[in-house]
Amino acid sequence: MKNNYKVYGYRWVVLATYMLVNLTMQMLWITYAPITSLAADFYGVSDLKIGLLSMSFMIAFIPLSIPVSWMIDRYGFRLAVGIGSVMMGAFGVLRGLAGANYSLVLASTIGIAAAQPFLLNTWTTVPAKWFPKDERATAVGLVTLANLVGTGLSMVLTPILVEGGMPIPQVQLLYGGISAVAAILFVLTARETPPTPPCEDGEEVRALMLDGLKHALTVKPFLYYVFVSFVGLGIFNGVTTWVENIINPRGFTPTDAGTLGALMLVGGVLGAVIIPMFSDKTQKRQIFMLTSILLAIPGLIGLIYAKSAWLLFASAFEMGFFLVSVNPIGMQYASEVTHPTPEGTSNGLIQLFGQASVVFVYIMEALKTADGSFTWSLLLAAALLVVCALLITQMKDPVKSD
Protein backbone atom coordinates (compact mmCIF):
# COMPACT_ATOMS: atom_id res chain seq x y z
CA MET A 1 0.00 0.00 0.00
CA LYS A 2 1.07 3.57 -0.74
CA ASN A 3 -0.84 6.15 1.25
CA ASN A 4 -4.47 4.97 0.98
CA TYR A 5 -4.23 3.50 -2.53
CA LYS A 6 -2.42 0.55 -4.08
CA VAL A 7 -0.07 0.47 -7.06
CA TYR A 8 0.06 -2.82 -8.97
CA GLY A 9 3.15 -4.37 -10.55
CA TYR A 10 1.06 -5.44 -13.55
CA ARG A 11 1.10 -1.80 -14.67
CA TRP A 12 4.51 -2.47 -16.20
CA VAL A 13 3.12 -5.35 -18.28
CA VAL A 14 0.35 -3.13 -19.63
CA LEU A 15 2.82 -0.33 -20.33
CA ALA A 16 5.31 -2.72 -21.99
CA THR A 17 2.82 -4.13 -24.51
CA TYR A 18 1.46 -0.65 -25.14
CA MET A 19 4.99 0.58 -25.80
CA LEU A 20 5.54 -2.34 -28.19
CA VAL A 21 2.59 -1.50 -30.43
CA ASN A 22 3.68 2.15 -30.49
CA LEU A 23 7.22 1.08 -31.37
CA THR A 24 6.07 -1.05 -34.32
CA MET A 25 3.76 1.72 -35.55
CA GLN A 26 6.77 4.03 -35.82
CA MET A 27 8.71 1.37 -37.71
CA LEU A 28 5.91 1.22 -40.28
CA TRP A 29 5.69 5.03 -40.47
CA ILE A 30 9.31 5.93 -41.24
CA THR A 31 10.37 2.79 -43.12
CA TYR A 32 10.58 4.42 -46.57
CA ALA A 33 12.38 7.62 -45.50
CA PRO A 34 15.94 6.22 -45.39
CA ILE A 35 15.53 4.48 -48.78
CA THR A 36 13.58 7.19 -50.62
CA SER A 37 15.56 7.06 -53.86
CA LEU A 38 15.71 3.25 -53.91
CA ALA A 39 11.97 2.98 -53.26
CA ALA A 40 11.20 5.56 -55.95
CA ASP A 41 13.14 3.49 -58.47
CA PHE A 42 11.54 0.24 -57.32
CA TYR A 43 7.95 1.51 -57.55
CA GLY A 44 8.61 3.74 -60.56
CA VAL A 45 7.39 6.93 -58.88
CA SER A 46 8.85 10.27 -57.77
CA ASP A 47 10.63 10.95 -54.48
CA LEU A 48 7.67 13.10 -53.43
CA LYS A 49 5.29 10.14 -53.77
CA ILE A 50 7.56 8.11 -51.53
CA GLY A 51 7.56 11.01 -49.07
CA LEU A 52 3.76 10.91 -49.21
CA LEU A 53 3.84 7.43 -47.65
CA SER A 54 5.26 8.98 -44.48
CA MET A 55 3.29 12.23 -44.63
CA SER A 56 -0.01 10.33 -45.04
CA PHE A 57 0.22 9.44 -41.34
CA MET A 58 0.09 13.11 -40.38
CA ILE A 59 -2.58 13.88 -42.98
CA ALA A 60 -4.88 11.03 -41.87
CA PHE A 61 -4.49 12.01 -38.23
CA ILE A 62 -6.16 15.39 -38.67
CA PRO A 63 -9.77 14.27 -39.39
CA LEU A 64 -9.57 11.17 -37.19
CA SER A 65 -8.11 12.56 -33.95
CA ILE A 66 -11.26 13.98 -32.34
CA PRO A 67 -13.57 11.01 -33.18
CA VAL A 68 -10.92 8.60 -31.89
CA SER A 69 -10.54 10.64 -28.69
CA TRP A 70 -14.29 10.38 -28.16
CA MET A 71 -14.09 6.61 -28.58
CA ILE A 72 -11.19 6.35 -26.13
CA ASP A 73 -13.06 8.36 -23.50
CA ARG A 74 -16.33 6.51 -24.13
CA TYR A 75 -15.15 2.92 -24.43
CA GLY A 76 -11.69 2.89 -22.85
CA PHE A 77 -8.13 2.59 -24.12
CA ARG A 78 -8.05 -1.23 -24.24
CA LEU A 79 -10.71 -1.45 -26.93
CA ALA A 80 -9.43 1.57 -28.83
CA VAL A 81 -5.78 0.55 -28.82
CA GLY A 82 -6.81 -3.03 -29.58
CA ILE A 83 -8.68 -1.89 -32.70
CA GLY A 84 -5.78 0.32 -33.78
CA SER A 85 -3.23 -2.43 -33.18
CA VAL A 86 -5.19 -5.00 -35.20
CA MET A 87 -5.60 -2.51 -38.05
CA MET A 88 -1.88 -1.78 -37.91
CA GLY A 89 -0.92 -5.44 -38.08
CA ALA A 90 -3.40 -6.32 -40.83
CA PHE A 91 -2.55 -3.41 -43.12
CA GLY A 92 1.16 -3.80 -42.35
CA VAL A 93 1.05 -7.37 -43.66
CA LEU A 94 -1.04 -6.30 -46.68
CA ARG A 95 1.54 -3.65 -47.56
CA GLY A 96 4.21 -6.33 -47.67
CA LEU A 97 2.02 -8.45 -49.93
CA ALA A 98 1.40 -5.54 -52.33
CA GLY A 99 4.64 -6.22 -54.18
CA ALA A 100 5.72 -3.47 -56.58
CA ASN A 101 2.21 -2.00 -56.93
CA TYR A 102 2.54 1.54 -55.55
CA SER A 103 -1.24 2.13 -55.49
CA LEU A 104 -1.78 -0.90 -53.23
CA VAL A 105 1.17 0.16 -51.06
CA LEU A 106 -0.35 3.63 -50.67
CA ALA A 107 -3.80 2.19 -49.85
CA SER A 108 -2.29 -0.13 -47.24
CA THR A 109 -0.26 2.74 -45.80
CA ILE A 110 -3.42 4.84 -45.44
CA GLY A 111 -4.94 1.91 -43.52
CA ILE A 112 -1.95 1.88 -41.15
CA ALA A 113 -2.15 5.66 -40.85
CA ALA A 114 -5.83 5.44 -39.88
CA ALA A 115 -4.81 3.17 -36.99
CA GLN A 116 -2.23 5.58 -35.60
CA PRO A 117 -4.60 7.93 -33.68
CA PHE A 118 -5.85 4.99 -31.60
CA LEU A 119 -2.30 4.60 -30.29
CA LEU A 120 -1.06 8.19 -30.09
CA ASN A 121 -4.18 9.57 -28.39
CA THR A 122 -3.81 7.26 -25.40
CA TRP A 123 -0.32 8.31 -24.33
CA THR A 124 -1.60 9.92 -21.12
CA THR A 125 -4.68 7.71 -20.70
CA VAL A 126 -2.73 4.52 -20.00
CA PRO A 127 -0.51 6.11 -17.30
CA ALA A 128 -3.58 7.80 -15.75
CA LYS A 129 -5.39 4.46 -15.45
CA TRP A 130 -2.46 2.45 -14.07
CA PHE A 131 0.19 4.75 -12.57
CA PRO A 132 0.31 7.05 -9.52
CA LYS A 133 0.60 10.74 -10.22
CA ASP A 134 4.31 10.89 -9.38
CA GLU A 135 5.13 8.29 -12.07
CA ARG A 136 2.97 9.49 -14.94
CA ALA A 137 5.39 11.81 -16.74
CA THR A 138 7.98 9.02 -16.53
CA ALA A 139 5.47 6.56 -18.04
CA VAL A 140 4.69 8.98 -20.88
CA GLY A 141 8.44 9.40 -21.33
CA LEU A 142 8.82 5.63 -21.74
CA VAL A 143 6.12 5.62 -24.42
CA THR A 144 7.99 8.45 -26.14
CA LEU A 145 11.14 6.33 -25.87
CA ALA A 146 9.36 3.41 -27.57
CA ASN A 147 8.33 5.65 -30.45
CA LEU A 148 11.88 6.92 -30.90
CA VAL A 149 13.34 3.42 -30.72
CA GLY A 150 10.85 2.28 -33.39
CA THR A 151 11.84 5.20 -35.61
CA GLY A 152 15.54 4.56 -35.05
CA LEU A 153 15.30 0.82 -35.71
CA SER A 154 13.49 1.36 -38.98
CA MET A 155 15.90 4.07 -40.15
CA VAL A 156 18.92 1.88 -39.39
CA LEU A 157 17.64 -1.58 -40.33
CA THR A 158 15.76 -0.76 -43.53
CA PRO A 159 18.80 0.43 -45.55
CA ILE A 160 20.86 -2.51 -44.21
CA LEU A 161 18.22 -5.05 -45.23
CA VAL A 162 17.55 -3.51 -48.65
CA GLU A 163 21.21 -2.96 -49.52
CA GLY A 164 21.89 -6.48 -48.26
CA GLY A 165 19.63 -7.88 -50.96
CA MET A 166 16.22 -8.21 -49.30
CA PRO A 167 13.49 -6.90 -51.66
CA ILE A 168 11.54 -3.92 -50.38
CA PRO A 169 8.20 -5.86 -50.23
CA GLN A 170 9.84 -8.53 -48.06
CA VAL A 171 11.15 -5.86 -45.69
CA GLN A 172 7.61 -4.47 -45.43
CA LEU A 173 6.21 -7.96 -44.85
CA LEU A 174 8.75 -8.52 -42.08
CA TYR A 175 7.76 -5.28 -40.36
CA GLY A 176 4.08 -6.05 -40.89
CA GLY A 177 4.52 -9.47 -39.28
CA ILE A 178 6.28 -7.92 -36.26
CA SER A 179 3.45 -5.41 -35.86
CA ALA A 180 0.86 -8.22 -36.04
CA VAL A 181 2.64 -10.11 -33.24
CA ALA A 182 2.76 -6.90 -31.16
CA ALA A 183 -0.99 -6.43 -31.71
CA ILE A 184 -1.73 -9.98 -30.52
CA LEU A 185 0.39 -9.47 -27.39
CA PHE A 186 -1.43 -6.25 -26.54
CA VAL A 187 -4.88 -7.78 -27.00
CA LEU A 188 -3.95 -10.74 -24.80
CA THR A 189 -2.27 -8.85 -21.96
CA ALA A 190 -3.83 -5.36 -21.74
CA ARG A 191 -6.36 -4.59 -19.03
CA GLU A 192 -8.42 -1.40 -18.84
CA THR A 193 -7.88 -0.67 -15.15
CA PRO A 194 -6.26 -2.25 -12.08
CA PRO A 195 -8.54 -3.72 -9.38
CA THR A 196 -8.33 -0.43 -7.46
CA PRO A 197 -7.30 3.09 -8.60
CA PRO A 198 -3.56 3.96 -8.39
CA CYS A 199 -4.24 7.43 -7.00
CA GLU A 200 -6.09 9.36 -4.33
CA ASP A 201 -9.89 9.42 -4.45
CA GLY A 202 -11.09 12.01 -6.95
CA GLU A 203 -7.91 12.21 -9.04
CA GLU A 204 -9.28 9.64 -11.48
CA VAL A 205 -12.61 11.42 -12.01
CA ARG A 206 -12.92 12.97 -15.46
CA ALA A 207 -15.57 14.96 -17.29
CA LEU A 208 -17.53 13.85 -20.32
CA MET A 209 -15.66 14.24 -23.59
CA LEU A 210 -17.67 17.18 -24.99
CA ASP A 211 -17.64 19.09 -21.70
CA GLY A 212 -13.95 18.30 -21.31
CA LEU A 213 -13.21 19.54 -24.83
CA LYS A 214 -14.96 22.84 -24.16
CA HIS A 215 -13.10 23.21 -20.87
CA ALA A 216 -9.67 22.45 -22.36
CA LEU A 217 -10.10 25.12 -25.02
CA THR A 218 -10.62 27.75 -22.29
CA VAL A 219 -7.36 26.93 -20.48
CA LYS A 220 -4.66 29.30 -21.77
CA PRO A 221 -1.64 27.26 -20.59
CA PHE A 222 -3.04 24.26 -22.46
CA LEU A 223 -3.43 26.30 -25.65
CA TYR A 224 0.12 27.57 -25.24
CA TYR A 225 1.40 24.01 -24.99
CA VAL A 226 -0.59 23.00 -28.08
CA PHE A 227 1.48 25.56 -29.99
CA VAL A 228 4.71 24.31 -28.39
CA SER A 229 3.82 20.75 -29.43
CA PHE A 230 3.01 21.92 -32.97
CA VAL A 231 6.42 23.57 -33.31
CA GLY A 232 8.40 20.79 -31.62
CA LEU A 233 6.89 17.96 -33.64
CA GLY A 234 7.10 20.03 -36.82
CA ILE A 235 10.84 20.55 -36.33
CA PHE A 236 11.46 16.92 -35.40
CA ASN A 237 9.46 15.56 -38.34
CA GLY A 238 10.95 18.11 -40.72
CA VAL A 239 14.55 17.31 -39.81
CA THR A 240 13.81 13.56 -39.89
CA THR A 241 12.13 13.79 -43.31
CA TRP A 242 14.75 15.98 -45.01
CA VAL A 243 17.85 14.97 -43.04
CA GLU A 244 19.91 13.91 -46.07
CA ASN A 245 19.02 17.03 -48.06
CA ILE A 246 19.76 19.35 -45.10
CA ILE A 247 23.42 18.36 -44.81
CA ASN A 248 24.17 17.36 -48.41
CA PRO A 249 25.05 20.93 -49.60
CA ARG A 250 27.86 21.00 -47.02
CA GLY A 251 29.46 17.87 -48.48
CA PHE A 252 28.14 15.31 -46.01
CA THR A 253 27.22 11.85 -47.27
CA PRO A 254 24.04 9.72 -46.91
CA THR A 255 25.97 7.70 -44.32
CA ASP A 256 26.53 10.91 -42.35
CA ALA A 257 22.80 11.60 -42.63
CA GLY A 258 22.03 8.18 -41.17
CA THR A 259 24.46 8.77 -38.32
CA LEU A 260 22.99 12.20 -37.65
CA GLY A 261 19.45 10.80 -37.57
CA ALA A 262 20.50 7.97 -35.27
CA LEU A 263 22.26 10.31 -32.84
CA MET A 264 19.29 12.67 -32.77
CA LEU A 265 17.06 9.71 -31.91
CA VAL A 266 19.46 8.38 -29.27
CA GLY A 267 19.53 11.81 -27.69
CA GLY A 268 15.74 11.88 -27.81
CA VAL A 269 15.49 8.45 -26.18
CA LEU A 270 17.71 9.52 -23.30
CA GLY A 271 16.02 12.89 -22.91
CA ALA A 272 12.54 11.35 -22.94
CA VAL A 273 13.45 9.16 -19.96
CA ILE A 274 15.91 11.17 -17.89
CA ILE A 275 14.33 14.62 -17.74
CA PRO A 276 10.73 13.46 -17.04
CA MET A 277 12.08 11.46 -14.10
CA PHE A 278 13.37 14.68 -12.52
CA SER A 279 10.09 16.38 -13.35
CA ASP A 280 8.15 13.62 -11.57
CA LYS A 281 10.50 13.67 -8.60
CA THR A 282 10.10 17.40 -8.07
CA GLN A 283 6.52 17.60 -9.42
CA LYS A 284 7.68 20.60 -11.47
CA ARG A 285 6.81 20.91 -15.15
CA GLN A 286 7.40 24.46 -16.36
CA ILE A 287 11.08 24.84 -15.48
CA PHE A 288 12.02 21.60 -17.23
CA MET A 289 10.05 22.48 -20.37
CA LEU A 290 11.56 25.97 -20.51
CA THR A 291 15.13 24.80 -19.94
CA SER A 292 14.81 22.06 -22.55
CA ILE A 293 13.40 24.37 -25.23
CA LEU A 294 16.18 26.90 -24.67
CA LEU A 295 18.91 24.25 -24.74
CA ALA A 296 17.51 22.72 -27.96
CA ILE A 297 18.20 25.97 -29.85
CA PRO A 298 22.04 25.69 -29.89
CA GLY A 299 21.70 22.16 -31.26
CA LEU A 300 19.46 23.39 -34.04
CA ILE A 301 21.91 26.19 -34.89
CA GLY A 302 24.63 23.54 -35.09
CA LEU A 303 22.57 21.57 -37.60
CA ILE A 304 22.37 24.68 -39.76
CA TYR A 305 26.01 25.77 -39.78
CA ALA A 306 28.27 22.92 -38.57
CA LYS A 307 30.85 21.96 -41.19
CA SER A 308 32.77 19.39 -39.16
CA ALA A 309 31.25 15.97 -38.57
CA TRP A 310 31.84 15.94 -34.81
CA LEU A 311 30.08 19.29 -34.31
CA LEU A 312 27.20 18.27 -36.58
CA PHE A 313 26.69 14.99 -34.71
CA ALA A 314 27.01 16.63 -31.28
CA SER A 315 24.44 19.24 -32.32
CA ALA A 316 22.02 16.55 -33.49
CA PHE A 317 22.37 14.66 -30.21
CA GLU A 318 21.84 17.78 -28.11
CA MET A 319 18.82 18.93 -30.08
CA GLY A 320 17.23 15.49 -29.88
CA PHE A 321 17.91 15.18 -26.14
CA PHE A 322 16.30 18.47 -25.17
CA LEU A 323 13.61 18.89 -27.85
CA VAL A 324 12.09 15.44 -27.37
CA SER A 325 12.16 15.65 -23.56
CA VAL A 326 9.60 18.47 -23.68
CA ASN A 327 6.93 16.16 -25.09
CA PRO A 328 6.30 13.70 -22.21
CA ILE A 329 6.50 16.47 -19.61
CA GLY A 330 4.20 18.70 -21.64
CA MET A 331 1.67 15.92 -22.23
CA GLN A 332 1.43 15.28 -18.51
CA TYR A 333 1.32 19.02 -17.80
CA ALA A 334 -1.58 19.40 -20.23
CA SER A 335 -3.43 16.54 -18.54
CA GLU A 336 -2.98 18.23 -15.16
CA VAL A 337 -3.93 21.80 -16.10
CA THR A 338 -7.06 20.70 -18.02
CA HIS A 339 -8.42 18.45 -15.26
CA PRO A 340 -11.22 17.21 -15.34
CA THR A 341 -10.97 17.03 -19.14
CA PRO A 342 -10.46 13.34 -20.06
CA GLU A 343 -6.85 12.40 -20.80
CA GLY A 344 -7.86 11.05 -24.20
CA THR A 345 -9.37 14.42 -25.12
CA SER A 346 -6.43 16.61 -24.06
CA ASN A 347 -3.95 14.10 -25.47
CA GLY A 348 -5.91 13.92 -28.73
CA LEU A 349 -5.96 17.68 -29.19
CA ILE A 350 -2.20 17.90 -28.63
CA GLN A 351 -1.51 15.06 -31.02
CA LEU A 352 -3.91 16.58 -33.56
CA PHE A 353 -2.05 19.88 -33.71
CA GLY A 354 1.27 18.07 -33.49
CA GLN A 355 0.44 15.97 -36.54
CA ALA A 356 -0.89 19.07 -38.33
CA SER A 357 2.71 20.24 -38.19
CA VAL A 358 3.09 18.33 -41.46
CA VAL A 359 2.61 21.80 -42.95
CA PHE A 360 6.03 22.72 -41.55
CA VAL A 361 7.54 19.77 -43.44
CA TYR A 362 6.09 21.26 -46.63
CA ILE A 363 7.25 24.76 -45.65
CA MET A 364 10.81 23.48 -45.25
CA GLU A 365 10.74 22.18 -48.81
CA ALA A 366 9.15 25.40 -50.09
CA LEU A 367 11.82 27.59 -48.45
CA LYS A 368 14.67 25.51 -49.85
CA THR A 369 17.04 27.70 -51.86
CA ALA A 370 18.13 27.07 -55.42
CA ASP A 371 21.33 25.35 -54.23
CA GLY A 372 19.31 22.99 -52.00
CA SER A 373 19.97 24.74 -48.67
CA PHE A 374 17.44 24.49 -45.83
CA THR A 375 19.05 27.34 -43.88
CA TRP A 376 16.07 29.73 -44.00
CA SER A 377 13.54 27.12 -42.86
CA LEU A 378 15.79 26.01 -40.01
CA LEU A 379 16.34 29.61 -38.90
CA LEU A 380 12.56 29.98 -38.89
CA ALA A 381 12.43 26.88 -36.69
CA ALA A 382 14.92 28.45 -34.26
CA ALA A 383 12.82 31.63 -34.08
CA LEU A 384 9.72 29.56 -33.37
CA LEU A 385 11.52 27.84 -30.49
CA VAL A 386 12.21 31.28 -29.00
CA VAL A 387 8.47 32.02 -29.24
CA CYS A 388 7.77 28.69 -27.52
CA ALA A 389 10.12 29.62 -24.68
CA LEU A 390 8.27 32.90 -24.18
CA LEU A 391 4.93 31.07 -24.07
CA ILE A 392 6.23 28.54 -21.54
CA THR A 393 7.12 31.40 -19.18
CA GLN A 394 3.35 32.00 -18.99
CA MET A 395 2.58 28.32 -18.22
CA LYS A 396 2.59 28.05 -14.46
CA ASP A 397 2.71 24.70 -12.68
CA PRO A 398 -0.67 23.38 -11.49
CA VAL A 399 -1.53 24.15 -7.87
CA LYS A 400 -0.93 21.04 -5.78
CA SER A 401 -3.95 19.68 -3.94
CA ASP A 402 -3.52 18.77 -0.31
Model confidence pLDDT, tens digit, residues 56-82: 888 888 888 888 888 888 898 999 999
Q: What is the pLDDT of residues 317-333, one digit of tens each?
A: 999 999 988 988 988 88
Q: What is the pTM of this model?
A: 0.75
Q: What is the pLDDT of residue 207?
A: 41
pLDDT tier for residue 28 given thresholds of 50, 70 and 90: very high
Q: Is the pLDDT of residue 354 over 70?
A: yes
Alpha-carbon span 53 to 156, nearest angstrom: 18
pLDDT tier for residue 387 given thresholds of 50, 70 and 90: very high
Mean pLDDT of 194-201: 72
Averaged confidence pLDDT in the chain? 86
Higher pLDDT, 241 or 96: 96
Listed in sequence order, the residues at least 6 apart from 162 whose beta carbon sits closer than 8 Å to its beta carbon are 35, 38, 168, 171
Collapsed DSSP state (helix, strand, coil) of residue 369: coil
pLDDT tier for residue 8 given thresholds of 50, 70 and 90: confident
Q: What is the pLDDT of residue 78?
A: 94
Measured from the Cβ of residue 402, the count of other Cβ atoms closer than 10 Å reads: 2
Q: Is the pLDDT of residue 15 over 70?
A: yes
Q: What is the pLDDT of residue 152?
A: 80
Q: What is the pLDDT of residue 2?
A: 45
Q: What is the pLDDT of residues 298-315, one digit of tens each?
A: 999 999 999 899 999 999
HEC states along the chain? CECCECCCCCHHHHHHHHHHHHHHHHHHHHCCHHHHHHHHHHHCCCHHHHHHHHHHHHHHHHHHHHHHHHHHHHHCHHHHHHHHHHHHHHHHHHHHHCCCCHHHHHHHHHHHHHHHHHHHCCCCHHHHHHCCHHHHHHHHHHHHHHHHHHHHHHHHHHHHHHHCCCCHHHHHHHHHHHHHHHHHHHHHHCCCCCCCCCCCCCCCCCCCHHHHHHHHCCCHHHHHHHHHHHHHHHHHHHHHHHHHHHHHHHCCCHHHHHHHHHHHHHHHHHHHHHHHHHHHHHCCCHHHHHHHHHHHHHHHHHHHHCCCHHHHHHHHHHHHHHHHHHHHHHHHHHHHHCCCCCHHHHHHHHHHHHHCCHHHHHHHHHCCCCCCCCHHHHHHHHHHHHHHHHHHCCCCCCCCCC
Q: Is the pLDDT of residue 205 over 60?
A: no
Mean pLDDT of 189-216: 67
Q: What is the pLDDT of residue 144?
A: 79
Structural domains of the chain ordered from first start: 1-204 (1.20.1250.20), 207-397 (1.20.1250.20)
Alpha-carbon span 268 to 283, nearest angstrom: 21
Among the listed residues 322, 35, 324, 323, the one whose alpha carbon sits nearest the alpha carbon of residue 154:
35
Q: What is the pLDDT of residue 312?
A: 93
pLDDT tier for residue 206 given thresholds of 50, 70 and 90: very low
